[in-house]
Structure 1
Amino acid sequence: MITLRPADQRGEADLGWLNSQHTFSFASYYDPQHMGFSALRVINDDLVTPGAGFSTHGHRDMEIISYVQSGSITHKDSEGNIKVLSAGEFQLMSAGSGITHSEYNASDSEPLKFLQIWIQPNTLGGTPGYQQKHFGQNEGLTTIASPAGERRDEKRGEKGSGSESGGFELKQDATLSQLILAPKSELVYQIEPGRKLYIHQVAGQLSVEDKSLTPGDGAKITDMQAITLVNASNSQTTALIFDLP
């Protein structure tokens, strides 16, 4: 079964310096029908004005992924990491037993657009961790994060799978993949028994079986053995695929 989560039905927070679209309940936005999906708890689509950002605050027992779509982030945390993330980069911060951090738009003139993603871990406590990488723009599937940090693309797609190694290590039985499809191309994603998928559309248009996704749209997929992902447009399309327990 495929259930759409349209972009224009998401929750919204407009704080002046921040405009955030919430796929799932977050902060002042509460919807009992959208509390998360499996271990996926948060997808916030954030637009931050120049020079503004999130002051120092704390987290624990959460796997927090940031994906920069445009602009750049200045990140500082209590583990001593001082980093800048540029457009196209991913970051995974494992909060573990507790971590504080801040995130600011690194530019005084350009807006920052990024996705903030929270995944609930299957182990609590432990030493906080930090991982950061640009995974490139290879067509097909690129594993961003998985339980052992390995790539499992060859099992997932029948066409266009990537080949590099070096995904993030995630403290959950889940895999996050970047999907890039060239114009007029498709990929068949095999789903293991008992698994669920969530697809978040980043850029371009994507058909998931008979459903169409545009930027910001999502799709919950349950009780299916495989799905066909089609880019019928004349432009490249990009999506994130969460393979969940």
Structure 2
Amino acid sequence: MNIHEKITKYRELKGLNKSQLAREINVSPAYITMIENGTKTPSNEFIIRLAFTLGVDPTELDSNFPVNKFENVLNTINSLKKKDNNNDIVDELIIKALKNYIEPNEYRSKLFNLYKNLAELNNDSIYYDFIDEKIVSVGLDNLKKILKNDDLELLILSTQILILIKNFINSENINDQLFYTNTLESILSYSRILNIPLDKNFYLNINITNKYDTKTKESNITPLPKKEKQIWEEEGKEYLMPKASHDKEGDFTEEDYKHDDDLMNDEDIWK
């Protein structure tokens, strides 16, 4: 049985049609069809996503899968796997990550409720690939209206964990993978020790992508434009400042108006 047939087999065993599987891994149903009929060969990264969604090991789909090359990725995913098979609206990957620091009797209901609220606000279902985008599109101010502070921090924390894992899976660079692994472990360890999520500003300010440069860390913030000096702010030209229009108290005279008029009509100034 080739890889294309195996994908079909495990998809059907999972009880998913092509559209459902496509939605789970954020591709089009047509792409799944091309994979299954052999017109497209999935990349190693795509096999990892498929294997995770179908609940099998990548080697079950492809006996030649380069396990050693992706050892770090697979170990991280395996370490986040939960022991039961509960299928909630909350994506399993986030639950697995958060289970490291939230009490088991709390994390499921808390996450379910806050994602349900966010879904209702967007009138849409929440899928893990879009949660970080949803936060940006809805806006924190709006989220604060429907979520308690603890739930809001939990949402931001889970999103940061999610971004790390997504970039981790998509990266082929061993240094990037190590960076993502260490950052993820730091987040989870720190949260476990203090028994609280980190400050939400920490997560909002970290922008982790595959292009992250640990050496330069150059800012991508556009600087504010510098305020240009008005002509009357230059030394020796104070007399050019309009009087009536700049008097905040409204205490100006007819002479002040004439002064401004003369300035406006002085062709030498406006050449």
Larger Rg: 2
In the superposition, the TM-score normalised over structure 2's length comes to 0.24
From the two aligned structures, give the one with the greater strand fraction: 1
In the superposition, the TM-score normalised over structure 1's length comes to 0.26
